[in-house]
Structure 1
Amino acid sequence: MIAAALIATAPAASAAAPARSDGHRVTLMVHGFDREADTNCASSWKDAKNLLNANGWGDVVTFGYYNKATNCDLRLQGTTDTRIQEVGRQFAWTVYYLYSSHDVAVDVVTHSMGGLVAKAAIEGVNRYGVGKTPPDLSGLTVDKNNIGATVWPIAWPPYLYIEDMVTLATPHQGIGSALVTACALTHEQCSDMRPGSGFISWLGKQPLSQMGTDYTFLASSHDDTVSADSATNKRTAHHWALYDKNADGGTLSHTAMRTTSTGAWQASWGGQLSDEGSGSYPAPLLRMMDGLYDQQAQ
């Protein structure tokens, strides 16, 4: 899918957004903040990607945004000082060029800061791109390992088609820990993730792409990095779940939210488009699959 899409072709403006498929879309996976900026996309997403592939998702594409990142299907040459909004703009153009401009809708799965990147892509398009004339990108040839070297237009794409988004332990309202406050002194992305930052204030709660976007926010009450309120956006998502302990008393750390597909878990859940409840609940990666399938757009 990627190899074919990387051939330079002129994207045509879409007359109408694709219909919801409630099925196995192309799924892009966006990692979180890495202070060393050397994320290995293959190992980071191994568990989630293997689960999706084993259950009928054939096109699962990893997106990295650090110049030292490895084994990413698509990679932006950024650093920890590349502002999250700019990473979102690069992600928006990548999705637009490869998929939306060809009337292909995608789903997105993110971990931690990756959810802010993906939401920023939609928010930026909604604020600055909608209504603009689709650009002629027919002369571009995209290097999948060096997305940042591509001379995208300065502005934002005119539309995006992102059907479902699942965020795992994303700080939708920022991270107020002393660790992030210290990190903000030397890394701009940490500065963006502080509660009440200009970026967090700019970012919408659940910005909708031009086909509507269904959100599922998954959080752990034992996350050592992101609070429950931040990871569920104070329980304002279309669908949210807050994990507690499993049958053996085990808990889910920040990283484990991205890797856990087994276990009998206790959780509370709800959302704008979901019934509220508490009790036994599927492991995070199993719930991730639910979030990519058979949901209702708003």
Structure 2
Amino acid sequence: MYSVKGQTVDVVAHSMGGLIVRAALAGYAQGDPTWPKKLLVEDVVTLGTPHKAAWLGALCLSNLQCQEMYYPNHAFRRWLGPNLQQAQGGTDWTLISSNADFSVSAGNGAPTDVGAQHLVRYSERANLDHAMLRTVRTGVYPLRYTNNGGAWGSLTRGAAPLRAAMNALYWHNRW
């Protein structure tokens, strides 16, 4: 609706919601006629999204959706492609994950090889589980981060996940 009017949107997605955003951008990038011809998504922030795989999927492998989450080479993931897609005009991606997330590991939630501009991985000491990534907005937490494939930095008093998401949306060009 916004793209038709020439307006860009920002998207924040948790868990599988991040894969839904990826699917929308993949369908657009592949020129699929069932997707809009114009898509203007300026920024995407994902929190605990299984970009590579979800450990929890192993608990229900008789279910197709669980198979798609667990097996990195399944049909849906192949269709998404190995890299994050771009909307018209470009999309700035920030992937946020936690080493205390037992559903999606930090490496699968914020992998270094999918083309994201910004990665944030909370330390296990932060004790931020899968659900907390989408609910915690205050406090300080130890984390590691990298921007545009540069060296990893560390903060002992980093922002809470929702504050980090907000910062990513408003300050993406100043990271």
- TM-score (normalizing by structure 2): 0.88
Percentage identity across paired residues of the two chains: 37
User: Which stretches in structure 2 are left out of the alignment for 5+ residues?
Assistant: none
Separation (CA, whole Å) in 1 of partners of 2:91 and 2:149: 12
Match of 1:128 in 2: 31
Structure 1 regions of 5+ residues with no counterpart? 1-97, 130-153
Q: Give the number of the structure whose alpha-carbon radius of gyration is greater.
A: 1
Q: What is the match of residue 162 of structure 1?
A: 41
Q: Cα deviation per residue 1:73-111 (whole Å; 9 max; x = unaligned)?
A: xxxxxxxxxxxxxxxxxxxxxxxxx21111111100000
Residue 66 of structure 2: aligned partner: 190
How many Å separate the matches in 1 of 2:22 and 2:121? 20
Q: For 1:220, which of 76, 98, 104 is the aligned residue?
A: 98
| Contact preservation (8 Å) 1:232, 1:240 | yes
Per the alignment, do residues 273 and 163 of structure 1 end up closer, same or farther by CA in structure 2, a change over 3 Å counting?
Answer: farther
Note if contact 2:100-2:127 (Cα within 8 Å) is conserved in structure 1: yes
Alignment-derived partner of residue 265 in structure 1: 141
The structure 1 segments of at least 4 consecutive aligned residues displaced by more than 6 Å after TM superposition are: none
- How many positions carry a matched residue from both structures? 170
Q: Which secondary structure does the structure 1 equivalent of 2:12 belong to?
A: strand
Return the alpha-carbon distance in structure 1 between the equivalents of residues 91 and 172 of structure 2. 10
Measured after TM superposition, the shift of residue 273 of structure 1 is 6.4
Indicate if the aligned counterparts of 1:219 and 1:242 stay in contact, CA closer than 8 A: yes
Could you say which residue in structure 1 is the equivalent of 2:53? 174
CA distance in 2, matches of 1:262, 1:243: 14
C-alpha separation between the residues in 2 aligned to 1:115 and 1:219?
12
Q: Indicate the structure with greater helix content.
A: 2
- Say whether the 8 Å CA contact 1:239–1:274 is kept in structure 2: no
Distance in 1 separating the partners of 2:107 and 2:170: 25
1:88-99 equivalent positions in 2, closer than 5 A: 98-99=1-2
| Paired letter, 1:216 | T
Q: Distance in 1 between matches of 2:24 and 2:140?
A: 35
TM-score by length of 1: 0.53
More strand by share: 2
